[in-house]
Structure 1
Amino acid sequence: MKIKKLLLMLVFLMLGMLISFGHVQAAGDNYLQKVKQKGTLVVGTSADYPPYEFTVKKSGKTNYVGLDVDVAKKFAKNLGVKLEIKNMDFDSLLVALETHKVDMVIAGMNPTPERRKSVNFSQLYYRGNQYMLINKKDAAKYKNIHSFKGQTIGAQTGSLQYQLVKEQMKGNSIKGLAKLNDLVIALQSGKVNAVAMEEATAKAFAENNRSLKVINPHFDVTSSQTGSAIAFPKGADSMVTAANKTIKQIKQQNLINKKYIPQAGKYMTSNTKKSTMLNYWTYFAKGIEYTLLITAVSVFFGFLLGTLFALMRLSHVKIFHLIAVWYIEFVRGTPLMVQVMFVYFGIGTIIQSLPALVAGIIAVSLNSGAYVAEIIRSGIQSIPVGQTEAARSLGMSQREAYRYVVIPQALKNIWPALGNEFITLIKESSIVSIIGVGDLMYQMQLVQAATYKGVLPIFIAMVLYFIMTFGLSNVLGHFERKMKHA
């Protein structure tokens, strides 16, 4: 009971620190001044939403393009600063904004009353209708929201479309996913009957996939709900004012219709022509590089942490034992995804310069350390007590007995379990893609967004993960066989 109470106190203390820190940040509006001083405007987006934001390949590198990106570039130019784009899941964007990981969010976002409670919005820079994407073979069946009765409708989680489907199509099931590409795959595979999305985006997908069709389901949408605006932290009035000046210029010059949308259309056409997977091999190669880097570093630190906490849990010093138990039980009792988000958005609130890659490595290392600790502890306890007693009788200290007698024997026993943990890390590292780390899963999603192909990039990523895990499994098996003959 004492341990449970201490754990609860620790959780509430951390939450209290984050909440109080957030209030301190909100005091005083020096947001615009800070952006100009650092010389960089950090923009959060979800680059799977053509023609608003998506990716293209230029000289083997990933470039973010689209209507929203052009608006962000115009804003950054007016401020006299450089533009830095952070790509992450749509439903993580406002969290990143509130925890000051980004200076603003531009992602075809509707300024709904619910969102206005948490963040500030600029004026609307573009207004579009709410449409639905369906399979062309179902065109005769579906005409409006009433003809979908009893069907399953897909929508991006956290979006206006999700809210509209939930409120106005109550006789339907709703399937929410973070990525539009995944929803389009679900549509093509029959998992959903339609996907609700903004007009321009729906038309973009339909124009690049002959099996899909766009319809206007005639949602009842108020003027306050339609249109896209830029989101800023609560209290960042100076940023909102500056953004509104840029939006006014864009509207006066009609840049969106004359320049930004046609330019996005050209990029989309170019992507469609170059949509073979071979053209995107550099994406997958970069993903493998990041995945192996995260795994290697996390294995190293996870093993060190695991060894330390295993010895602490076996220690007769009560405080060391309790700390180890708290750490192991807490980490094993919470999902890795939550831990990754807490390290990046939570601890990252205090250490704002914490890169996503470093945050991902920290979270994966801490998570692995808890499981490795239990593996090592079980290995040590599997060695008969007589081995330690014999070593001590020969004049060895407790430390020497562990180093030269217990640990080498325990390592032989736990090697298969450790190997499984290391292999698992390769696969679990894919979770860091939710905070924008460019691992294999993240790169796969970029390829999906760029090529409008959903299943093939998944298959390629699956094969690449298998090659990595199978290769590591063989290496670990080689060392295991050597240990048996040692």
Structure 2
Amino acid sequence: MDYSFDFAPVFQAWRLLAEGAWATTWISAISMAAGLVLGTILTAMRMAPVGVLRALAIGYIEIIRNTPFLVQVFFIFFGLPALGLRLDAMQAAILTMTLNCSAYIAEIVRSGVQSIRPGQIEAGKALGLPSFDVYRFIVFRPAIRAVYPSLCSQFILMMLNTSLVASISAQELTYAAQMIDNRTFRSFEVYFVLGAIYLALSQLFSLGLQLIGRSYFSYPTK
């Protein structure tokens, strides 16, 4: 093998990689927050006594979970303009990631809610707690605590899925790497560094989510 490794051209483009990493980070953060809110709403609809709400939630969840993420990206970016809704690449990326993530989060949160025993809810009501506080402290928070590791895994997977939105020229990390590769023709070096950056981002996201979990969802200690 006479290939000569040269990482210098890649490191010289560190600013472009840094901008891409930052874009990946804030796209993921926005999609995580919006996906958690929408997923919680879907959970409430999925468990509602009204049949129409349950059917809508189930239909949405099944459609999202059983179609490829890349197809969803293309549908949002290339398909919606036919209906008069035109989004730029970053807006389409955030919307698609939010919709995709919310369907998985809905099922994760639902499993957590179903782990709460009815007796706990009845006990809260017997103590005179308002309905909002019952669902906030006795249902929602313990449910999130129970499924928090699964939520963290889903969030990190979603962050890694941002690499697919480069297909619509969303200027995130993978798109930046493709630009560098086109300029330098150093594919091995570019994608080796890209993989290392994604690994570092995964560890940082994992650490941040662990700190959030310890702050808000850990059991009190004496």
TM-score by length of 2: 0.91
> In structure 1, what is the equivalent of residue 49 of structure 2?
316
1:464 aligns with 2:197: yes
Letter in structure 2 aligned against 1:484:
S
Summarize deviations over 1:324-343 as a string: whole Å, max 9, x none: 10111110000100000000
Q: Which has the higher contact order (CA 8 A, sep 6+)?
A: 2
> In structure 1, what is the equivalent of residue 96 of structure 2?
363
Q: State the 1:392 CA deviation.
A: 2.3
Q: Distance in 1 between matches of 2:40 and 2:200?
A: 29
Summarize deviations over 1:88-120 as a string: whole Å, max 9, x none: xxxxxxxxxxxxxxxxxxxxxxxxxxxxxxxxx
Query: Judging changes above 3 Å, is the alpha-carbon distance between structure 1 residues 417 and 329 closer, same or farther for their aligned structure 2 residues?
Result: same
Q: Distance in 2 between matches of 1:328 and 1:399?
A: 26
> In structure 2, what is the equivalent of residue 278 of structure 1?
11
User: Per the alignment, in what secondary structure is the counterpart of residue 53 of structure 2?
Assistant: helix
User: Per the alignment, in what secondary structure is the counterpart of residue 13 of structure 2?
Assistant: helix
Letter in structure 2 aligned against 1:368:
C
- Structure 1 gap segments, 5+ residues each: 1-187, 189-209, 212-273
Q: Contact conserved, 1:313 with 1:324, CA < 8 A, in 2? A: yes
Q: Distance in 1 between matches of 2:47 and 2:139?
A: 13
Percent identity of equivalent pairs: 32
> In structure 2, what is the equivalent of residue 305 of structure 1?
38
1:416 aligns with 2:149: yes
Q: Contact conserved, 2:113 with 2:140, CA < 8 A, in 1? A: yes
Summarize deviations over 1:149-177 as a string: whole Å, max 9, x none: xxxxxxxxxxxxxxxxxxxxxxxxxxxxx
Q: Distance in 2 between matches of 1:378 and 1:469?
A: 25
User: Per the alignment, in what secondary structure is the counterpart of residue 342 of structure 1?
Assistant: helix
Q: State the 1:484 CA deviation.
A: 3.0
> In structure 2, what is the equivalent of residue 433 of structure 1?
166
Q: State the 1:275 CA deviation.
A: 6.4
Q: Distance in 1 between matches of 2:35 and 2:182?
A: 34
Q: Distance in 2 between matches of 1:419 and 1:394?
A: 33
Q: Distance in 2 between matches of 1:306 and 1:463?
A: 31
Q: Contact conserved, 1:275 with 1:451, CA < 8 A, in 2? A: no
Match of 1:335 among 50, 68, 72: 68
Q: Contact conserved, 1:433 with 1:442, CA < 8 A, in 2? A: yes
1:349 aligns with 2:79: no
Summarize deviations over 1:211-231 as a string: whole Å, max 9, x none: 7xxxxxxxxxxxxxxxxxxxx
Match of 1:443 among 173, 176, 195: 176
User: Per the alignment, in what secondary structure is the counterpart of residue 484 of structure 1?
Assistant: coil
Summarize deviations over 1:234-253 as a string: whole Å, max 9, x none: xxxxxxxxxxxxxxxxxxxx
Q: Distance in 1 between matches of 2:197 and 2:126?
A: 52
Q: How many residues align?
A: 216
Q: Distance in 2 between matches of 1:439 and 1:349?
A: 26
Query: Judging changes above 3 Å, is the alpha-carbon distance between structure 1 residues 397 and 325 closer, same or farther for their aligned structure 2 residues?
Result: farther
Q: State the 1:279 CA deviation.
A: 1.8
Q: Contact conserved, 1:275 with 1:450, CA < 8 A, in 2? A: no
Letter in structure 1 aligned against 2:218:
K
User: Per the alignment, in what secondary structure is the counterpart of residue 276 of structure 1?
Assistant: helix
> In structure 2, what is the equivalent of residue 253 of structure 1?
none
User: Per the alignment, in what secondary structure is the counterpart of residue 438 of structure 1?
Assistant: coil
1:484 aligns with 2:212: no
Query: Judging changes above 3 Å, is the alpha-carbon distance between structure 1 residues 408 and 275 closer, same or farther for their aligned structure 2 residues?
Result: closer
RMSD: 1.9
Query: Judging changes above 3 Å, is the alpha-carbon distance between structure 1 residues 467 and 475 closer, same or farther for their aligned structure 2 residues?
Result: same
Which one has a larger percent strand, Structure 1 or Structure 2? 1
Letter in structure 1 aligned against 2:71:
V
Q: Distance in 2 between matches of 1:290 and 1:397?
A: 42
User: Per the alignment, in what secondary structure is the counterpart of residue 67 of structure 2?
Assistant: coil
Q: Contact conserved, 2:80 with 2:86, CA < 8 A, in 1? A: no
Letter in structure 1 aligned against 2:92:
A
Q: Contact conserved, 2:32 with 2:155, CA < 8 A, in 1? A: yes
Which one has a larger percent helix, Structure 1 or Structure 2? 2
Q: 429-438 vs 470-479, which deviates more?
A: 470-479
- Structure 2 gap segments, 5+ residues each: none
Q: Distance in 2 between matches of 1:405 and 1:294?
A: 32
TM-score by length of 1: 0.43
Q: Distance in 2 between matches of 1:303 and 1:289?
A: 21
Q: State the 1:352 CA deviation.
A: 5.5
Q: State the 1:308 CA deviation.
A: 0.3
Q: State the 1:398 CA deviation.
A: 4.3
Q: Distance in 2 between matches of 1:479 and 1:285?
A: 25
Query: Judging changes above 3 Å, is the alpha-carbon distance between structure 1 residues 354 and 480 closer, same or farther for their aligned structure 2 residues?
Result: closer
